[in-house]
Chain A
């Protein structure tokens, strides 16, 4: 099969994986090396597809043949899609060529499971090895690891890759049993634990030595072994089964806590060509996916606990307002927040104020009293913020007790379209 056709099939097969970030790895460049490539900490999105998602890495499958029969997956064994398989060398050349053109930041390689977990993983690792060792490629590499692969292969993968990921796919055991009967939740967690141990050990080894009494003799040491410097991540499919947002966020909190994941990606279950009979076909719940990302953000950067974001009633996030505003509307007793006196934790809970804005307010209020003009200069949504804050010159409880406040702050209703449909339940 010619390469163009293979690329079409194997890029198409990879498009349902949400993760594409290329950030958070160690800084390096190709000066003094034999090859090309650099990473400077923050990732670069080299293009954007019309679905609004960034294209940062060449995201492809080594092959879309797969022995598994995960019902939500277009590559499952019982799917009738066209199949293809790249050779190791083809992936290496494609990566280098796209990289030289500056189209990509690196490679994100995944694969269907063929022959055995170890065989598949070996092939995936081999691509990374050739890129690193033969071509001295210093760009970003993200490998999807096969949870059932041997610990030795996981350890090798971590030496070549910037990031490793294992998709949990479904947040509950019941969901896995029903939709991905070959996927072993235990094996997934065990692999994540192994990766965390490797990552922790590498970080520990890289720590500077404690100063010794003999300052004249500087201890020399070999460079610490690097293991997946950009950490590990995972993906959950949203809307393929009946799991509530509360269960999803609880699962995420547990994954962040247990395995120190850098990111949990939420991928709205998407209609796929040649779908399985066992799944309802419907438009993807994109708004729900968006709300989950916002809620995830609140957990990671705003000090929210996983169990306070979702309201008590049905376990689902509101679709019409963002979760921070929803929390504030439901907890008006904590507001208004005095911009000049409130603690940072409370400022972070004001809808519309971001982490950076809060930093600026804290800095400025050390030297003078904040006024409403200061808030305007932050370029934040004043209409949303005003009811929740108090600053000199703004009437106290500015409409905060208004029963219609929620309605006032909701975005104007739009004609419902395919792209903001209700969540789908299996």
Chain B
């Protein structure tokens, strides 16, 4: 329990990591109005405990001081900064606490000097904790059979030297990670032990108390030696993240010097060595796998829908195909009474490889449901086969295909129409209308009536569902109703045509 001397305002804490003690004492001192300059903080070692234990302290078991309303950053920072090796840490923390109580503006100022100092200490401690989670190296130790019933056969023991007083705070991490493994971490100040159920702490230990290297550790050294690329030596970078302070307890650190010394020679040899002739002949499998660039260019006419799909996939007649995931073929029954033609696949269609699966496709599905038409009864496709986009931030923004790109794609659409033999066509939006009719079409002027194509097929032009999705909410309902009327006409008309 912390003891506060009435005369000298000396607080003596039970241990280096006695943060609860610090908090209780600090609350008392603030309640009593003791200014930071009048307090000195000590940590009792066994000897000191005798020296300072004058019996004039306050009984810490009673905790009369009220809790203080403190900003969250202080509680969090204190929890870490309080474990710093700097003996001045408690003085700093109390001063900051005092100031937070008496200076209302301070809690909003992340750049105050005391606060910055606390954050720096906290950061050093968090780093030390993190390094412990990284650099503790367990070695298995066989436990003699007479240890008692239920004792583990092996206990994993590590020797570690933290830079700050961090063992107690870090041990729970290992308990969570190695819940089904008995382990112990020994440090000069304290030791921690987990038996599979309970975490306990004991006195400090010596390095010799931990087991020596075993055969299994050799495998780790082999790995370390071989994962290093001698052509990329960057020692400074390494030391920044793995300071020399920790090297003495890392088995692999003994390899750093020899590996470094050899690296220039090893990489130099690789650079100088002439390329060798392969001893092995290339396997037939390897040659068969080769993708010939010649097969990737413009492709000739296809004879079936399946052929058409494969051929479209390989088409690079315009640059869109390079960036897209895949060509999106049409989908639906041959001889469908209606073929819907959209502009091009969007983000979702590009990922799925299927037409009209994104938001616009869902709107089209909704419209069909309202008209009582099965989606599966119509043929859905696009004028352009690949998704054209522009990367922006973490999204792909749809870009309208250029006229040339649509023209390069037009023959795929014509071949598809020839194979599917639809009763009639619906052009969704201007790109589709242009591709189908071979002339620029003003959609708003020509929508909602049947137009003839050169091959005699009838085409009904209307908006692309994506255009409806872009509308302001107050315009949507009317626009959707008008669009639905166009589509109804298409279905009724195609029935009449059939």
Which positions in A face B, CB cutoff 8 Å? Answer: 3-4, 7-9, 11-12, 14-16, 29-38, 40, 44-55, 58-60, 67-69, 77-80, 94, 97-98, 100-103, 173, 177, 181-184, 186, 189-190, 192-193, 196-197, 250, 253-254, 256-258, 260, 268, 270-277, 279, 281-284, 286, 303, 305-306, 360-361, 363-364, 366-368, 370, 374, 377-378, 418-419
Within B123-176, the residues touching A (CB, 8 Å) are 130, 133-140, 156, 158, 173-176
Within B220-256, the residues touching A (CB, 8 Å) are 220, 222-238, 241-242, 250, 252, 256
Q: Which 5 pairs, one residue from A and one from B, show the smallest C-beta to C-beta distance?
A: A52-B237, A52-B234, A78-B278, A29-B176, A253-B391
Closest residue of B by beta carbon distance from A184: B291
List residues of chain A with CB within 8 A of the CB of B218. 4
Distance A254 CA – B229 CA, assembled complex (angstroms): 30
Given A102-B136, A282-B271: A419 in contact with B110 (beta carbons within 8 A) = no
Asked whether, in the complex, the Cβ of A254 is within 8 Å of the Cβ of B323, the reply is yes
| Interface CB pairs A-B, < 8 A, 23 | A7-B223, A31-B179, A36-B177, A47-B252, A49-B228, A50-B263, A51-B232, A69-B282, A69-B286, A80-B276, A80-B278, A101-B217, A102-B136, A182-B291, A186-B313, A193-B326, A258-B347, A258-B351, A274-B273, A281-B271, A305-B392, A366-B108, A368-B109
Distance A124 CA – B210 CA, assembled complex (angstroms): 37
> Of A46, A271, A277, A361, which is within 8 A of B135 by CB?
A46
Given A31-B176, A193-B351: A257 in contact with B228 (beta carbons within 8 A) = no
B5 within 8 A of A: no
Distance A300 CA – B268 CA, assembled complex (angstroms): 36
B353 within 8 A of A: yes
List residues of chain B with CB within 8 A of the CB of A253. 391
Interface size on B, residues (CB 8 A): 96
List residues of chain A with CB within 8 A of the CB of B177. 29-30, 36-38
Distance A11 CA – B226 CA, assembled complex (angstroms): 6
Asked whether, in the complex, the Cβ of A103 is within 8 Å of the Cβ of B271, the reply is no
Closest residue of B by beta carbon distance from A31: B179
Given A52-B232, A418-B267: A363 in contact with B110 (beta carbons within 8 A) = yes
B476 within 8 A of A: no
Given A257-B391, A281-B270: A182 in contact with B180 (beta carbons within 8 A) = no
Given A33-B179, A67-B285, A378-B111: A52 in contact with B278 (beta carbons within 8 A) = no
List residues of chain A with CB within 8 A of the CB of B219. 3-4, 7, 94, 97-98
B58 within 8 A of A: no
Asked whether, in the complex, the Cβ of A283 is within 8 Å of the Cβ of B238, the reply is no
Asked whether, in the complex, the Cβ of B137 is within 8 Å of the Cβ of A275, the reply is no
Distance A73 CA – B192 CA, assembled complex (angstroms): 46
B322 within 8 A of A: yes
- 12 other A-B residue contacts (CB within 8 Å) besides A30-B179, A53-B234, A254-B323: A47-B224, A48-B242, A52-B232, A52-B238, A97-B219, A102-B174, A173-B296, A182-B290, A197-B351, A258-B351, A270-B229, A279-B275
List residues of chain B with CB within 8 A of the CB of A270. 229, 231-232
Asked whether, in the complex, the Cβ of A100 is within 8 Å of the Cβ of B134, the reply is no
Given A44-B134, A98-B220, A177-B293: A273 in contact with B270 (beta carbons within 8 A) = yes
B496 within 8 A of A: no
Asked whether, in the complex, the Cβ of B111 is within 8 Å of the Cβ of A197, the reply is no
List residues of chain B with CB within 8 A of the CB of A258. 325, 347, 350-351, 391, 396
Asked whether, in the complex, the Cβ of A257 is within 8 Å of the Cβ of B283, the reply is no
Asked whether, in the complex, the Cβ of B271 is within 8 Å of the Cβ of A196, the reply is no
B226 to chain A, nearest CB (A): 4
Asked whether, in the complex, the Cβ of B267 is within 8 Å of the Cβ of A38, the reply is no
Asked whether, in the complex, the Cβ of B275 is within 8 Å of the Cβ of A36, the reply is no
Given A51-B228, A78-B278: A8 in contact with B180 (beta carbons within 8 A) = no
B216 within 8 A of A: yes
Asked whether, in the complex, the Cβ of B216 is within 8 Å of the Cβ of A101, the reply is yes
B451 within 8 A of A: no
Asked whether, in the complex, the Cβ of A189 is within 8 Å of the Cβ of B391, the reply is no
Asked whether, in the complex, the Cβ of B267 is within 8 Å of the Cβ of A271, the reply is yes
Closest residue of B by beta carbon distance from A183: B291
List residues of chain B with CB within 8 A of the CB of A4. 218-219, 222
Asked whether, in the complex, the Cβ of A49 is within 8 Å of the Cβ of B238, the reply is yes
Asked whether, in the complex, the Cβ of A193 is within 8 Å of the Cβ of B282, the reply is no
- Residue in B181, B232, B264, B279 with the greatest tally of chain A CB atoms within 10 Å: B232
What does the 1/0 interface line of B259-303 toward A look like (CB < 8 Å)? Answer: 110011001101111011011101101100111010010000000
Which positions in B face A, CB cutoff 8 Å? Answer: 105, 108-111, 113, 116, 130, 133-140, 156, 158, 173-181, 216-220, 222-238, 241-242, 250, 252, 256, 259-260, 263-264, 267-268, 270-273, 275-276, 278-280, 282-283, 285-286, 289-291, 293, 296, 313, 322-326, 347, 350-353, 389, 391-396
Given A363-B108, A367-B105: A189 in contact with B291 (beta carbons within 8 A) = no
Distance A16 CA – B226 CA, assembled complex (angstroms): 11
Asked whether, in the complex, the Cβ of A103 is within 8 Å of the Cβ of B220, the reply is yes
Distance A260 CA – B136 CA, assembled complex (angstroms): 35
Distance A257 CA – B217 CA, assembled complex (angstroms): 43
Distance A68 CA – B285 CA, assembled complex (angstroms): 8
List residues of chain B with CB within 8 A of the CB of A8. 222, 225-226
List residues of chain A with CB within 8 A of the CB of B158. 102
Distance A184 CA – B314 CA, assembled complex (angstroms): 12
Given A101-B138, A270-B229: A52 in contact with B270 (beta carbons within 8 A) = no
List residues of chain B with CB within 8 A of the CB of A68. 286, 289
B212 to chain A, nearest CB (A): 14
Asked whether, in the complex, the Cβ of A177 is within 8 Å of the Cβ of B291, the reply is yes
Distance A212 CA – B136 CA, assembled complex (angstroms): 49
Asked whether, in the complex, the Cβ of A257 is within 8 Å of the Cβ of B278, the reply is no
B52 to chain A, nearest CB (A): 37
Distance A274 CA – B282 CA, assembled complex (angstroms): 16
A173 to chain B, nearest CB (A): 6
Asked whether, in the complex, the Cβ of A47 is within 8 Å of the Cβ of B250, the reply is yes
B105 to chain A, nearest CB (A): 6
Asked whether, in the complex, the Cβ of B116 is within 8 Å of the Cβ of A377, the reply is yes
> Of A12, A47, A254, A279, which is within 8 A of B242 by CB?
A47
List residues of chain A with CB within 8 A of the CB of B231. 270-271, 283-284
Closest residue of B by beta carbon distance from A271: B270
> Of B181, B283, B285, B392, which is within 8 A of A36 by CB?
B181
Asked whether, in the complex, the Cβ of A257 is within 8 Å of the Cβ of B223, the reply is no
Closest residue of A by beta carbon distance from B217: A101
Distance A182 CA – B287 CA, assembled complex (angstroms): 8
List residues of chain B with CB within 8 A of the CB of A256. 391, 394
Asked whether, in the complex, the Cβ of A54 is within 8 Å of the Cβ of B241, the reply is yes
Asked whether, in the complex, the Cβ of A260 is within 8 Å of the Cβ of B394, the reply is yes
A63 to chain B, nearest CB (A): 14
List residues of chain A with CB within 8 A of the CB of B137. 101-103
B422 to chain A, nearest CB (A): 28
Asked whether, in the complex, the Cβ of B290 is within 8 Å of the Cβ of A257, the reply is no
> Of A34, A103, A419, which is within 8 A of B180 by CB?
A34
A366 to chain B, nearest CB (A): 7
